[in-house]
Amino acid sequence: MLKVEIYRYNPDTDKAPYMKTYEFDTQGKDLMVLDVLEQLKAQDESLAYRRSCREGVCGSDGMNINGKNGLACIKPLSECVKNNKLILRPLPGLPVIRDLVVDMTQFYDQYKKIEPYLQNDTPAPAIERLQSPEDREKLDGLYECILCACCSTACPSFWWNPDKFIGPAGLLQAYRFLADSRDLATEKRLSNLDDPFSVFRCHGIQACVAVCPKGLNPTRAIGHIRNMLLQSAT
């Protein structure tokens, strides 16, 4: 029997968070963590977590799985269970609403700051703004982010300054628009980032890279932003 420990907290009834242990029979199958949660919820309806697509696209079920952030729906037990134990906690650093559900407001506020939309005031062409295949290629490794928050909530700089540091997810998206040949707001975007917190709180420890369920590299994108800031200011 697999031992599953889950962080439980209901602010209406609990004075403090606690870990609840469940016994779970995998029947020898290598299930995904979300499958385990679904079956446990069938037994204990009070258990709360977010989920939607169950295939690693919507980014709803980001959580801390045996100490490492990841998406429950695409994390097989064989990759995370140690000593027959599965420990599930909410994403670190964000306020807990209930059980594994966190308040993502701080995360979205930082995302909003980088103005995550194409800015181009020139008259729109009849069909669409075209891009060369080479320019389009520059967006690979950037546009795939699903905003699950696994990276930002694995980042100590984001834990300490979630109101000031944009965080790896936001900065990956900031570079996605800085790198877009169709976007004309480069100077404005860069000047909004040149303070001691927004970008430069990244110390390059790459915790974000280690946990990204989509295999993206926010640290590299942050390095590109630094280089762009350096080139525009020197």
Partner 1 sequence: MVTSITSFGRSGLYDWLIQRVGAAVMAAYTIFITIYLMTNPELTFEQWHALFGQLWMRVFSLVTLLSFISHAWIGLWAVLTDYLTVRLMGNKATILRIFAQMMLGGVAITYLVWGIEIIWGFN
- Please tell me whether residue 192 binds partner 1 under the rule CB under 8 A: yes
Which two three-digit tokens encode residue 144? Answer: 């795939």
Separation of alpha carbons 55 and 212, rounded Å = 15
Give the Å distances, CA to CA, from 215 to 25, 162, 191, 211.
31, 23, 29, 8
Which part of the chain contacts partner 1 (CB under 8 A), choosing from 91-99, 140-148, 158-166, 169-177? 158-166
Q: Which is nearer to partner 1, 24 or 175 (CB)?
A: 175
Residue found by looking up tokens 């069909």 in the block: 127
Which two three-digit tokens encode residue 221? Answer: 């994108």
- Please tell me whether residue 119 binds partner 1 under the rule CB under 8 A: no
Q: Which is nearer to partner 1, 42 or 233 (CB)?
A: 233
Taking the CB of residue 219, how many other CB atoms lie within 10 A of it?
Answer: 21
Q: From the CB of 178, what's the least distance to partner 1, in Å? A: 15
Q: Which is nearer to partner 1, 51 or 164 (CB)?
A: 164
Q: From the CB of 116, what's the least distance to partner 1, in Å? A: 16
Which part of the chain contacts partner 1 (CB under 8 A), choosing from 36-44, 132-140, 145-153, 225-233? 225-233
Helices (H), the chain: 33-43, 77-80, 105-113, 133-137, 156-160, 167-178, 186-193, 207-211, 218-233
- Please tell me whether residue 34 binds partner 1 under the rule CB under 8 A: no
Q: Are 4 and 21 in contact (CB under 8 A)?
A: yes
- Please tell me whether residue 171 binds partner 1 under the rule CB under 8 A: no
- Please tell me whether residue 163 binds partner 1 under the rule CB under 8 A: yes
Q: From the CB of 170, what's the least distance to partner 1, in Å? A: 13
Residue of the chain from 164, 182, 220, 224 that contacts partner 1 (CB under 8 A): 164
What is the bridge-based pairing of β-strands 96-98 and 68-71? unpaired
- Please tell me whether residue 186 binds partner 1 under the rule CB under 8 A: no
Residue of the chain from 44, 194, 205, 210 that contacts partner 1 (CB under 8 A): 194
- Please tell me whether residue 200 binds partner 1 under the rule CB under 8 A: yes
Total count of residues recorded for the chain = 234
Separation of alpha carbons 93 and 95, rounded Å = 7
Phi, psi of 13 (to 5 degrees): -120, -25
- Please tell me whether residue 197 binds partner 1 under the rule CB under 8 A: yes
Total site size for partner 1, rule CB under 8 A = 22
Binding site for partner 1 (CB under 8 A): 156-157, 160-161, 163-164, 191-201, 203, 226, 229-230, 233
